[in-house]
Amino acid sequence: MARGEFALIDRHFRAVGALRGDVVLGVGDDGAILRPPPDHDLVAVSDTLVEDVHFPRGAAPRSIGHRALAVNLSDIAAMGATPAWSLLSLTLPAAEDDWLAEFATGYASLARAHDVALVGGDTTRGPLVVGVQVLGFLPRGRGLRRAGARPGDRIFVSGTPGDAAAGLALLQARLSASAAPEQAAELRERFEFPAPRVALGRALLMIASACIDISDGLQGDLAKLATASGCAAHLELERLPISAALAAIHDAEAATRSALTGGDDYELLFTVPPAHWPAIEALRGTVGMPRIAEIGVLREGEGVVLTRDGCPVPQAHAGFDHFA
């Protein structure tokens, strides 16, 4: 079959991603056959990007390919797991060769960087919707969850939340930063090509008491962790890690709001009991780790309490919710 969806899939997606010895049968049959390592549990995540919801119409296809995989790798990271295999369900209004090539490049580069094979999926004509699933491994009986944090545990976050939301605003021209073009480019990059924190998640498996990735905004995702753990999360606003780029285009209040409620960061938000605080210091000195900031503490109670210099301040707007 020299044309049609089968040829398309073949041409662009047959060689995408890492080559792995544990893929017994990859793309091209009714299903993939995969060989999990002994004494490990499997982690399965699934996340979908929809045009006009998760990325603007006309977004760069390389960024869409990257982000579709990145948001799933971020979920894998939040479980402390090691990613291995992915499936891609692509619904497209039209099969354009250039678009597919760029999309596949974005997907493939990130997949190879994390040793993830593309083992299956499907392609259909329709509105632009990109569904990805990633499978990974955990040593049997382990895994980071949203539940597990205890009063007294400190709260940490990787990277600099709020950058991606500002980057999206710049891409959509809802925000302009003509006086700071380099910083604006950095923020756009943070939206278009987020770095999933897989190595950090794996390292946290022995250290963190709970973990979640920030996809819907730091404050909203912290609330989910606090609820699952049955604690109150006290978030110390003066400790929020604001990037130099974000500070260059926003005043302090807008930067804080972006860091609290901006979505699409794909950073890890996690809690660490006192016995493991030295391990966080050690991680900070490790090559390849993102910035790690301590931003608060868990106490008895419920919900998120925002504080500045020890005093409570009013709640900002809650996290992103598609059906709010």
Q: How far is the CB of 75 from a second copy (least distance, A)?
A: 4
Per the CB < 8 A criterion, the answer to whether 114 and 19 are in contact is no
The tokens describing 216, both together, are 């819907």
Give the binding range for a second copy (CB under 8 A) out of 26-34, 158-166, 175-183, 274-282.
26-34
43 belongs to the binding site for a second copy (CB under 8 A): yes
139 beta partners:
40
How many CB atoms lie under 10 A from the CB of residue 123? 18
* Among 19, 56, 97, 125, interactor with a second copy by CB under 8 A: 125
CA distance 26 to 101: 20
Chain positions 266 to 295 lying near a second copy, rule: CB under 8 A, are none
* Residue from 60, 89, 115, 289 binding a second copy (CB under 8 A): 89
Pure H helices in 232-287: 244-249, 252-261, 277-284
- Antiparallel, parallel or unpaired: β 311-312 and 303-308: antiparallel
Q: Which is nearer to a second copy, 129 or 180 (CB)?
A: 129
Residues within window 57-86 making contact with a second copy, judged by CB under 8 A:
75-76, 78-79, 81, 85
Residue 193 or 266: the one with the smaller Cβ distance to a second copy is 266
For residues 51, 168, 191 and 265, what is the CA-based torsion angle, rounded to 10 degrees? -100
Is 116 a binding residue for a second copy by CB under 8 A? The answer is no
User: Do residues 269 and 212 touch, judged by C-beta distance below 8 A?
Assistant: yes
Size of interface with a second copy, in residues (CB under 8 A): 71
Least distance in angstroms from the C-beta of 248 to a second copy = 32
Q: How many CA atoms are closer than 13 Å to the CA of 288, on its beta-carbon side? A: 9
Residues 139-158 that bind a second copy (CB under 8 A): 140-141, 143, 145-146
Among 11, 15, 46, 301, binds a second copy (CB under 8 A): 46
Q: Give the one residue of 10, 20, 48, 289 binding a second copy; rule: CB under 8 A.
A: 48
To a second copy, the closest distance from the beta carbon of 237 in angstroms equals: 22
Give Cβ neighbours of residue 150 (< 8 Å, ≥ 6 apart): 209, 229, 231, 273, 298
Residue number with CB closer to a second copy (45 or 59) = 45
Stretch that binds a second copy, among 173-181, 237-245, 273-281, 315-323 (CB under 8 A): 315-323
**Residue whose C-alpha is closest to residue 271's, from 146, 179, 90, 124:** 146
Treating both helix axes as pointing N-terminal to C-terminal, what angle do 163-171 and 181-192 enclose, rounded to 10 degrees? 100
Taking residue 241's Cβ as centre, other Cβ atoms within 10 Å add up to 18
Distance, CA of 236 to chain centre: 23
195-234: which residues touch a second copy (CB under 8 A)?
Answer: 211-213, 223-224, 228
Q: Does 119 bind a second copy (CB under 8 A)?
A: yes
Stretch that binds a second copy, among 3-11, 192-200, 259-267, 276-284 (CB under 8 A): 3-11
93-112: which residues touch a second copy (CB under 8 A)? 95
Distance CA 285, CA 268 (A): 18
Give the residue, chosen from 82, 133, 258, 261, that forms a contact with a second copy under the rule CB under 8 A. 133
Nearest-approach distance from CB 58 to a second copy, in angstroms: 16
Question: Using the rule CB under 8 A, which residue among 120, 194, 196, 263 binds a second copy?
Answer: 120
Contact at 8 Å (CB) between 299 and 231? Answer: yes
Scanning residues 160 to 199, which ones bind a second copy (CB under 8 A)? none
Radius of gyration of the chain, Cα coordinates, nearest whole angstrom: 20
Beta bridge partners of 125: 92
